[in-house]
Amino acid sequence: MFEGFKRHQIKVGEVEIACVVAGEGEPVLMLHGFPQTMAVWARIAPALVAQGRRVVCADLRGYGASGKPPAQASLLNYGFRAMALDQLALMHALGHERFHLVGHDRGARTAHRLALDHPGSVASVTLMDVVPTTVLLTDLRKEVAQSYWHWFFLAQPGPFPERMIQADPDFFFESCLFGWGAAGPEDFNAEQLSAYRQSWRDPMTIAGYCNDYRATLAVDFSDDLIDQGRRIAAPALILYGASGAMARHYNIPATWSERCTTIEAAAIPGGHFFPDSAPDEVVRRLDTFLARHPLHALP
């Protein structure tokens, strides 16, 4: 997996961020979501490299091979602002002051925060299958709550969710992948699925997941309420699963149009995990969008 990519563990502040890097050309940072790792991009990133781009795929703090600092002192450690600063520092360490940004799920929420807080660093942003955090939490439909129950279970005080999950992590996380994602085992590449399993079997990773979701309720919701009127300055591409819970219950392009200066939106066949189930379509959409918004174009 990621043949031809160079692996790095780069110290950024208090944590090390794991990443893989390959290619030459305009830099593209790709961020995964829950309950996955950078492996979600294993069939997408090489295609972008082949198209003449330098691609960086990173694990978020708390996930995969990245650092997992304790959250006892403050859940600020796991807010999207902290995660965004990790990734900004990672790209600076790799020599990229300005770059394209792609995120799915939690990675998309991190990308949203990074694009708001550091607009000069972001040439374009692609957000995959999310509505803004404030929209989901202030307009929570009962159907969405039934699908996205993990938001509230993982956010419970520790060690309750951690101990429950550790009893059978494969059962728990595969219930997420194959349950609320409108997908089945056949939609996932075996090697990528193995990488997800290897990661989520680690008790420290399970704690990282829980701290991420605890921070969403304790930190990120307030941050996003404060920034309700701000727009992403960079051109934005919004992709979403045509049969996913978000598309069924929200008008995804409309929720983002008032939060972006320039927006394109498209539905991808499949559910929430379409980067796994439809990688070729994701590559096609990304290639077209990135070609229209070169790095040297100012926001």
**Which residue in 86, 105, 129, 276 is the catalytic one?**
105
Torsion 153-159-162-167 (CA) sign: negative
**Residue 27 backbone dihedrals phi, psi, to 5 degrees:** -75, 140
Told to judge if 272 belongs to the known catalytic residues of this protein, a careful annotator would answer yes
Burial of 267 (0-12, 13-18, 19+ CB in 10 A): middle
Task: Report the alpha-carbon distance of residue 127 to residue 257 in Å, rounded.
Answer: 12
- 28, 53 Cβ separation under 8 angstroms: yes
Alpha-carbon Rg of the chain, whole angstroms? 17
**Which residue in 96, 104, 150, 272 is the catalytic one?**
272
- 115, 99 Cβ separation under 8 angstroms: no
Task: Report the alpha-carbon distance of residue 279 to residue 192 in Å, rounded.
Answer: 12
Told to judge if 105 belongs to the known catalytic residues of this protein, a careful annotator would answer yes
**Residue 49 backbone dihedrals phi, psi, to 5 degrees:** -60, -45
HSE-CB for 68 with a 13 A CA cutoff:
17
Give the closest residue to 148 by CA, choosing from 246, 247, 36: 246
Catalytically annotated residues = 105, 272
